[in-house]
Homo-oligomer: A and B are copies of this chain.
Amino acid sequence: MPETIRRADRLPGNRYGNRPTMKDVAARAGVGLKTVSRVVNGEPGVTPETEQRVQDAIAALGFRRNDSARVLRKGRTASIGLVLEDLADPFYGPLSRAVEEVARAHGALLINGSSAEDPEREQELVLTLCARRVDGLVVIPAGDDHRYLEPEIRAGVATVFVDRPAGKIDADVVLSDNYGGARGGVAHLIAHGHRRIGFIGDMPRIHTAAERLRGYRAAMEDAGIPVEDAWMSLGVTDPGRVRRAAEGMLSGPAPVTAIFTGNNRVTVTVVRVLAEQSRRVALVGFDDIELADLLQPGVTVVAQDAAALGRTAAERLFRQLDGSLVVPERIELPTRLITRGSGELPPAD
């Protein structure tokens, strides 16, 4: 192991520690400032000999271009922001990664922020990113009013919403077909003979939750089944309350024989509850979950492609930046029903 670098060894000096600038490099190489800039940026008009002198000076001083200054001068930061709910949620990891890959392909960095489903925090994050002059924003909105973004968009910040539409402004948005997916999932249960079907989902103020609820209602209506209030539980995602909600639906004189769950977190908890039941209860969940195929029975889900959402959104973002997109659009990606057993159980009443 080489000699330890103690932080105490750091030279005092300017604020960046003691970083050489192009000026320093120029002095050392005995050339002008602009010549260094040319070499660093691979611009033409420098003889190989001069270039070599500059390269040597760069290496000797350990120079690295200060992109902060570059950004200030050029106006493009080559970075984009992604505001999502919670990076720790397995749904958002792949989405974020997909956005990062597209950004990378365009030479941009990705700044991540978690809103924790708090509209105020979302706004704070978005505006902070705008102050950093990110070139664009991919937003999974927590709030339902994004008029605060109008001046930013007008000022040239490319913006794409994902997973849920923007509120009160007209902007690009990339969604999954939540309505159709939920409708299909519930219809699947109905096709397997169920009539008393429960729904456990998030607060309907969240667009995805509302759409999935709408899909549930539509499927029930298609089949001519009147929905009872006792079958629906809205605004419930934390494990304890989901558990109580599920147990409630499963008790009483006419318990549900199947449950449709509105997102991955709910599904996981309901799987736990159902595992404790003596009766076999059918289940279809929105969002795929890892290992769903290994459970007994396998969990039938309506899967959305998180990576595709992220990729599509990021690609649109860069097309906005190209100037090749002008009018905001709404893009809906299909969902996919994956049958694994739990959704094909017959009613046990």
Q: Which residues of A pack against B, CB within 8 Å?
A: 1-2, 4-11, 14-19, 62, 64-69, 71-72, 74-77, 79, 86-90, 92-94, 96-97, 100, 109-114, 127-133, 147, 150-158, 168-171, 268, 271-272, 275, 289-296, 307, 320, 325-328
Question: Do A93 and B87 touch (CB < 8 A)?
Answer: yes
Q: Which residues of B contact A153 (CB under 8 A)?
A: 5, 7
Given A64-B127, A64-B131, A87-B93, A109-B100 contact (CB < 8 Å): no
Q: Which residues of B contact A290 (CB under 8 A)?
A: 90, 268, 289-291
Q: Which residues of B contact A74 (CB under 8 A)?
A: 15
Listed by A's residue number, 26 A-B pairs whose Cβ atoms lie within 8 Å are A1-B168, A2-B169, A4-B170, A5-B154, A8-B326, A16-B75, A17-B156, A18-B155, A19-B156, A62-B155, A66-B72, A68-B132, A79-B111, A87-B96, A87-B100, A88-B94, A89-B93, A90-B90, A90-B93, A109-B111, A109-B113, A109-B132, A111-B111, A111-B112, A271-B291, A291-B295
A193 to chain B, nearest CB (A): 25
Cα A114 to Cα B110 with chains together (Å): 10
Q: Which residues of B contact A152 (CB under 8 A)?
A: 64
Question: Do B275 and A6 touch (CB < 8 A)?
Answer: no
Residue in chain B with minimal CB distance to A170: B4
Q: Which residues of B contact A18 (CB under 8 A)?
A: 154-156
Q: Which residues of B contact A62 (CB under 8 A)?
A: 151, 155
Question: Do A114 and B100 touch (CB < 8 A)?
Answer: yes
Given contacts A16-B133, A18-B154, 9 further A-B contacts (CB under 8 A): A4-B328, A6-B326, A65-B131, A66-B72, A68-B77, A79-B111, A100-B112, A109-B113, A110-B113
Question: Do B67 and A69 touch (CB < 8 A)?
Answer: no
Cα A43 to Cα B1 with chains together (Å): 48
Question: Do A15 and B75 touch (CB < 8 A)?
Answer: yes
Question: Do A88 and B93 touch (CB < 8 A)?
Answer: yes
Given A64-B127, A113-B110, A156-B16, A320-B88 contact (CB < 8 Å): no
Given A65-B131, A170-B5, A88-B97 contact (CB < 8 Å): yes
Q: Which residues of B contact A147 (CB under 8 A)?
A: 2
A321 to chain B, nearest CB (A): 10
